[in-house]
């Protein structure tokens, strides 16, 4: 039986559909889909009422979870699942449009169905702030909040070094890194980062604790709005040290951002990452309950009064990144020795330095300058990067029944270069991350090889079917992952529409730092192509 509250929601949505317009939800509107606990709800309503009484406009959205099961939605909109991290289902705010905001039909449904008048992507009024108030999740390897420049009018530079690199070295990825919105070809996909994320280390250092705590976040291009929201939070009992601001910069490098609500304005998307919970993430775990409930509130707040003088932030800035001392790269000779040992066990000749049979994974940051300012300058799709990780990606790997791949690399959690490591499996066509092997599973996997520093390396095998006769003795001591029918069999590797395996490695957060390891001081893993018996 429907409750009066449910009936009210249905009536509200029906009216929206009838009038065909966009009605911002009030802060007390019952349109939230996620389950917000009473103390968070009370705090959010008090903040919203305080701001409204002082002349601000306030609208309310809700939060949704994006998992690999939602890939068909984003693929329909973007022709990509963006190499999602399967170890970290994403949490995104979905917000109502302002009455005078142009809503791009080219990004509608980017993370799946939403309430009428709501989208995950949004434009920003120059005198606006998104305010997130919520209970943070239980302890995990990582939590972070980050906003991206999703799209803007324009095209890409075919004379840039990045375009030439992709065209000449990984041509199959040309349409991944350089592309427009499929449903609005006037706008180029960028997914460019705008600065450093607000992660759990930043929150712990700023407020004393992060996990299971109620914290607030302000996302805004206007320093005046940041001050106004912080004052409202303070008036409702939120200490200033428990509020964290993500500034939307006025420029990315030399490129001005086009903040505004018009059709030509920049479009933004905010993402929360929550990866590898300490409790394991089982069905009855606290971390799973957090993901199911999402105890978070998001408000859109703006001041359109003529007296409000917006104060933009300066150009985007990024904290310097470092690595271990001595750097992980000093292990490069030992990694070559390990690759040779794998080839020797299989009795198959391969030169880890000179042959395509042993290929380093692409270090995206060093090879393509994958940061917001550089991406925007040349019109390249940044693929939602973060300063909290070093990220590596393989070429497309066909996987016939008699093919085996061995991935060998330095394990950042053992070299001291990462807090957690994820070895991801992705589809080359959809860029869907469909599974992940974490650092706990990778630890000790190189112990079967008599090579120097083997405790700092990993060896992970991949095959269509690891139970194939003859593989046990060759992979002994190291795990083998059976891909099975998670990828269809590709009979023509030259066909770009043919699904192949792409492997990725993420090294998150240098221990003792609030950012990821410096990519140039991180050793690229290698993938070895082997013939099954």
Spatial separation of the C-alpha atoms in residues 193 and 199, rounded to whole Å? 14
pLDDT tier for residue 21 given thresholds of 50, 70 and 90: very low
pLDDT of residue 83: 75
Q: Average pLDDT, stretch 447-458?
A: 97
With a cut of 60, say whether residue 20 has pLDDT above it: no
Q: Is the model's pLDDT at 447 over the cut of 50?
A: yes
502 touches 394 (CB < 8 A):
yes
Query: Among the residues of 246-285, which ranges form H helices?
Result: none
The candidate with the shortest Cα–Cα distance to 131, out of 17, 212, 47, is 47
Q: What pLDDT is stored for residue 86 in this prediction?
A: 77
Domain membership of residue 455 (yes or no) is yes
Query: Residue 454 in contact with residue 447, Cβ under 8 Å?
Result: yes
Two structure tokens written together for 115 = 């309430």
| DSSP character at residue 312 | B
Residue 23 has pLDDT above 90, yes or no: no
Say if residue 261 is in the same domain as residue 360: no
**Which of these, 421, 415, 407, 405, lies nearest to 505 by C-alpha position?**
421
Residue 352 pLDDT grade (very low, low, confident, very high; cuts 50, 70, 90): low
| Residue 375: domain span | 328-531
CA 515 to chain centre: 15
Residue 220 has pLDDT above 80, yes or no: yes
In whole angstroms, how far apart are CA 414 and each of 33, 117, 256? 41, 48, 42
Q: Is pLDDT of 124 > 90? A: yes
C-alpha 289/C-alpha 281 separation (Å) is 9
Going by C-alpha positions, the residue among 151, 53, 165 that lies closest to residue 110 is: 151
Place of tokens 């190189």: 446
Quick one: pLDDT at residue 26? 37
Cα dihedral sign, 249-252-254-258: negative
Say yes or no to pLDDT of 19 above 90. no
SS (H, E, C) 55-67: CCEEEECEEEEEC
Structural domains counted in the chain? 2
The answer to the question of residue 311 being in a domain is no
Whether residue 113 is found in the same domain as residue 51: yes
Say if 53 falls within a structural domain: yes
Q: What are phi and psi of 207, to 5 degrees?
A: -125, -5
For 110-119, what is the mean pLDDT? 94
Judge whether 85 lies within some domain: no
Distance CA 346, CA 473 (A): 9
Backbone angles phi, psi at 378, to 5 degrees: -110, 0
Q: Are 421 and 412 in contact (CB under 8 A)?
A: yes
Residue 17 confidence class, pLDDT cut points 50, 70, 90:
very low
pLDDT for the residue numbered 28: 37
Model confidence at 162, in pLDDT bands (50, 70, 90)? very high
| Cβ–Cβ under 8 Å, residues 365 and 390 | yes
pLDDT band at 27 (very low <50, low <70, confident <90, very high): very low
| H/E element, 287 | helix 286-293
Q: Report if residue 318 sits inside a domain.
A: no
- Mean pLDDT across the chain: 91
Q: In this predicted structure, what is the pLDDT of residue 431?
A: 86
Same-domain check for residues 287 and 428: no
Provide the β-strand partners of residue 119: 95
Q: Is the pLDDT of residue 32 over 90?
A: no
Of 284, 302, 320, the last residue of a domain is: 302
**Pair 290, 390 in one domain:** no
Rounded CA gap, 183 and 188, in Å? 11
Domain end (from 302, 337, 357): 302
291 and 347 inside one domain: no
List pLDDT tens digits, range 326-343.
Answer: 999 999 999 999 999 999
Angle of CA points 205, 208, 209, to nearest 5°: 100
Same domain for 203 and 58: yes
Q: Three-state SS for 526?
A: strand
Q: What is the mean pLDDT of residues 424-445?
A: 94
Last residue of a domain, one of 261, 284, 302: 302
| Pairwise pLDDT comparison (18 vs 403), residue with the higher score | 403
Q: What DSSP letter does each residue of 159-215 carry, written as one string? A: TSHHHHHHHHH-GGGHHHHS-EETTEEEEEEEEEE-S--EEHHHHHHHHS--TT-EE
Supply the DSSP string of 323-387, one letter for each residue.
Answer: --SS-GGGGHHHHHHHHHHHHHHHT----TTT-TTEEEPEEHHHHH--SHHHHHHHT----S--T
pLDDT recorded at residue 494 = 87
Question: Do 297 and 403 reside in the same domain of the chain?
Answer: no
pLDDT digits (tens, 9 = 90+) for 59-104: 999 999 998 888 899 999 998 887 788 778 899 999 999 999 999 9
Residues 139-161: what's their mean pLDDT?
Answer: 97
Question: Within a domain: residue 12?
Answer: no
Strand-strand pairing, 457-463 and 358-360: unpaired
Distance of CA 247 to the CA centre of its chain: 18
Instruction: Read off the pLDDT band of 353 (50, 70, 90).
Output: low
So what's the pLDDT on residue 120? 97
User: Mean pLDDT over residues 39-57, rounded?
Assistant: 96
Q: Is the peptide bond before 380 cis (omega within 30 degrees of 0)?
A: no
Is the same domain home to 352 and 446? yes
- Give a yes or no: residue 13 inside a domain: no
Of the candidate ranges 2-6, 194-198, 308-312, 420-424, the one whose mean pLDDT is the lowest: 2-6
Would you say 302 and 128 are in contact if contact means Cβ atoms under 8 Å apart?
Answer: yes
Q: Is 371 helix (H, G, I), strand (E, B) or coil?
A: coil
HEC per residue, 410-444: ECHHHHCCCCEEEEEEEECCCCCEEEEEEHHHHCC
Q: Is residue 129 part of a domain?
A: yes
Residue 277 has pLDDT above 80, yes or no: yes
335 and 466 share one domain = yes
Ramachandran assignment for 264, one of left (phi > 0), alpha (psi -120 to 50 degrees), beta (any other):
alpha
Closest-CA residue to 197 (of 90, 77, 37, 298): 90
Contacts of 165 (CB under 8 A, 6+ apart): 367, 368
Give me the residue label for tokens 């709501």: 118
Candidate from 76-90, 286-300, 438-452 with smallest mean pLDDT = 76-90
Residue 350 sits in the same domain as residue 289: no
pLDDT of residue 87: 76
Residues 346 and 260 in one domain: no
Is there a single domain that holds both residue 373 and residue 275? no
Q: Is the pLDDT of residue 16 over 70?
A: no
Query: Per-residue pLDDT tens for 377-408?
Result: 999 999 999 999 999 999 999 999 999 999 99
In angstroms, the Cα distances linking 457 to 135, 191, 275 are 37, 32, 22
What is the pTM for the complete model shown?
0.91
Percent of the chain with pLDDT over 70: 93
In this structure, of 28-32, 148-152, 158-162, 207-211, the range with the lowest mean pLDDT score is: 28-32
pLDDT at position 12, please? 34
CA 242, CA 217: separation in Å to the nearest integer? 9
Burial bucket for residue 83 (CB in 10 Å: 0-12, 13-18, 19+): buried
Where is pLDDT greater, at 99 or 172? 99
- Give the H or E element holding residue 302: strand 296-302
């Amino acid at each position: 039986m429907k409750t009066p509250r449910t009936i009210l929601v249905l009536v509200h949505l029906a009216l929206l559909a009838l009038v065909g317009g966009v009605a911002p939800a009030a802060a007390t509107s019952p349109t939230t889909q996620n389950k917000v606990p009473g103390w968070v709800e009370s705090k959010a309503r008090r903040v919203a009422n305080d701001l409204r009484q002082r002349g601000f406009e306030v609208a309310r959205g809700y939060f949704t979870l994006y998992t690999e099961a939602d890939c068909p939605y984003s693929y329909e909109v973007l022709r990509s699942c963006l190499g999602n991290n399967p170890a970290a289902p994403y949490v995104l705010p979905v917000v109502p449009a302002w009455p005078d905001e142009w809503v791009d039909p080219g990004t509608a449904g980017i993370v799946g169905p939403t309430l009428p008048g709501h989208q995950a992507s949004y434009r920003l009024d120059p005198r606006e702030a998104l305010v997130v108030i919520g209970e943070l999740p239980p302890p995990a390897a990582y939590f972070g909040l980050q906003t991206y420049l999703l799209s803007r009018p324009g095209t890409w530079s075919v004379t840039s070094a990045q375009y030439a690199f992709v065209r000449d070295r990984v041509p199959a990825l040309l349409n991944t890194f350089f592309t427009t919105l499929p449903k609005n070809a006037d706008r180029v996909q960028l997914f460019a980062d705008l600065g450093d994320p607000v992660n759990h280390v930043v929150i712990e250092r700023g407020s004393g604790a992060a996990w299971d705590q109620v914290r607030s976040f302000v996302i805004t291009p206007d320093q005046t709005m940041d001050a106004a929201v912080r004052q409202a939070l303070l008036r409702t009992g939120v200490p200033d040290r428990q509020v964290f601001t993500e500034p939307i910069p006025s420029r990315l490098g030399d490129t001005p951002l086009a903040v505004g609500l018009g059709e030509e304005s920049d479009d933004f998307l905010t993402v929360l990452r929550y990866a590898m919970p300490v409790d394991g993430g089982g069905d009855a775990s606290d971390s799973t309950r957090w993901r199911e409930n999402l105890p978070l509130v998001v408000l859109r707040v703006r001041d359109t009064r003529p007296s409000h003088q917006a104060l933009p932030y300066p150009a985007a800035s990024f904290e310097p990144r470092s690595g271990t001392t001595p750097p992980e790269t000093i292990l490069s000779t030992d990694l070559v020795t390990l690759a040779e040992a794998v080839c020797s066990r299989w009795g198959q000749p391969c030169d880890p330095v000179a042959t395509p049979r042993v290929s380093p994974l692409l270090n995206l940051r060093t090879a393509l300058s994958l940061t917001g300012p550089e991406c925007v300058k040349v019109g390249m799709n940044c693929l939602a990067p973060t300063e909290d990780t070093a990220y590596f990606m393989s070429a497309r790997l066909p996987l016939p029944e008699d093919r085996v791949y061995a991935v060998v690399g330095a394990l950042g959690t053992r070299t001291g270069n990462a807090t957690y490591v994820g070895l991801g499996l992705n589809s080359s066509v959809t860029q869907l991350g469909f599974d992940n092997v974490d650092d706990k599973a990778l630890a000790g996997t190189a112990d079967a090889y008599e090579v120097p520093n083997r405790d700092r390396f990993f060896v992970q095998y991949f095959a269509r079917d690891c139970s194939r006769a003859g593989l046990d003795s060759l992979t002994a001591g190291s795990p083998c992952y059976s891909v099975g029918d998670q990828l269809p069999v590709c009979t023509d590797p030259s066909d770009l529409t043919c699904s192949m395996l792409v492997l990725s490695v993420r090294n998150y957060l240098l221990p003792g730092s609030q950012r990821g390891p410096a990519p140039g001081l991180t050793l690229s893993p290698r993938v070895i192509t082997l013939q099954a018996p």
